Structure 1
Amino acid sequence: MSRLAVHAVLFDLDGTLIDSAPDLAGAGNEMRAARGLPLLPLAHFRPMVGSGARGMLGRALQVQPGDADFETLRDEFLSRYEARMTRETRLFDAMRPVLDALREAAWPWGIVTNKATRFSAPLVQALGLGREAATLVCGDTTPHAKPHPAPLLEAARRMNVEPVRCVYVGDDLRDVQAGRAAGMRTVAAAWGYLGDGERIETWGADHVIESPGQLLKLLALA
């Protein structure tokens, strides 16, 4: 595995840095319970967490964008999620040594997510990551969301690091597309939610890693 000549790391949030699936799935199951439907296992929701409300509603109630009641149900889902989004969500255990190593090496790192600021900012603060991350760029920070490169370029600008000296780590095809478009090195996180689309090996990332610890080897920090 070749090492990456970079000086800063950007992470996707859900499925890469944190495991938010229990609370997102929990909001979906709350909607089912309110309608007298049986609860579904976390494994039913988990692959679609990266798709946000759209994915969760598809799994919970089999509704999709364009359906007559989709927007009303989406608003209900988001309200339920906002009320519980810090209940079970945690930093992936294996990410803690990675963040500690970045701190010890004085490498800046940040978060670039398509999740709206309304949810991302309080969640990052609640998990204690706001004290560590050099920047947080959300889905509504720039005029475009991933796979557009604008959010990643904004994060690099805020950290005062050239995009070519950054690596972006994410668990979705859009992360790889955005990173490549921004001129960054890309790492696909195979421990993430991944969705039900193309296989991770076909995304075109510079590297695919099975665990966070492998990132430290890529960065020559382990």
Structure 2
Amino acid sequence: MKPLVPRWSHLRAVLFDLDGTLIDSAGDLARAANAMRRDRGLHALPLAQYRPHGGSGARGMLAQAFGVAPGDPAYDGLKREFLDRYETLMFDSTSPFAGVQAELAGLAQAGLAWGIVTNKAERFALPLVAALRLDAAVVVGGDSTAHTKPHPAPLLEAARRLGFTPQTCLYVGDDERDIVAGRAAGMSTAVAAWGYLGQDAEFAHWQADLELGSPGELLKSLGLA
């Protein structure tokens, strides 16, 4: 077993965002939104338009598909319809990003715990994690605590369940809110630059501790590869 590099010798656990960090779910999210458009006689939009907004779930998809946002009169009804539609096809094409399984195996071999903290509701997150055989030690969803990211509560809950202090955890995500939440929780942070990142994201300004271009770079940064 290779030791962690000195900078990371305190590390006991790595926590990950789900969509856009561990799994590529944008295709199924876009498919649900386009099915709603077709039902209304509208043409399908290209995946490239939806993809940067994959990390925002229903909010991101509905903004692209119908130009609505939370607070708009039609939003809540469209959101319920979208989530019901997505639930029927969320396993169709979603899969881990290339290199993710090796990354997770490397962490486990090094004796590091790993888990998932996502804004995706447990209704979707738990079945997806099980179906994709992501054997996380903990899964905290968007409705597991009273708050969602960028609030630190979900990250603190994950650390509590693992039995580690936040200061011994690293949080990896592809959205600025992930880095904000990680810092607020007292954790080290890393940007998953292979993810969705959001429109015109300048992640170099997010002040994360690591910027990772691919899953394999995490193991290298920790001295495990």
Query: Which of the residues 102, 125, 129 maps onto 1:124?
Result: 129
Matched, 1:4 2:4: no
60-69 or 102-111, which deviates more: 60-69
Report matched runs for 1:1-222 at 5 Å: 3-5=7-9, 6-129=11-134, 132-196=135-199, 198-222=201-225
Paired with 2:76 and 2:147, the residues of 1 have a C-alpha distance of 21
Tell me the percent identity: 59
Runs (4 or more) in structure 1 with deviation over 4 Å come to none
Paired with 1:22 and 1:133, the residues of 2 have a C-alpha distance of 23
Question: What's the CA shift for 1:44?
Answer: 0.7
The 1:126–1:98 alpha-carbon spacing in structure 2 relative to 1, beyond 3 Å, is same
Paired with 2:59 and 2:148, the residues of 1 have a C-alpha distance of 16
- Consecutive unaligned residues in structure 2, runs of 5 or more: none
Question: What's the CA shift for 1:106?
Answer: 2.1
TM-score, normalisation: structure 2: 0.94
1:176 is paired with a residue of what secondary structure? helix
1:148 is paired with a residue of what secondary structure? coil
- Consecutive unaligned residues in structure 1, runs of 5 or more: none
Corresponding pairs, count:
220
TM-score, normalisation: structure 1: 0.95
Contact preservation (8 Å) 1:24, 1:49 = yes
RMSD between aligned residues: 1.4
Question: What's the CA shift for 1:52?
Answer: 1.1
196-205 or 82-91, which deviates more: 196-205
Paired with 1:111 and 1:68, the residues of 2 have a C-alpha distance of 33
2:8 is paired with a residue of what secondary structure? coil
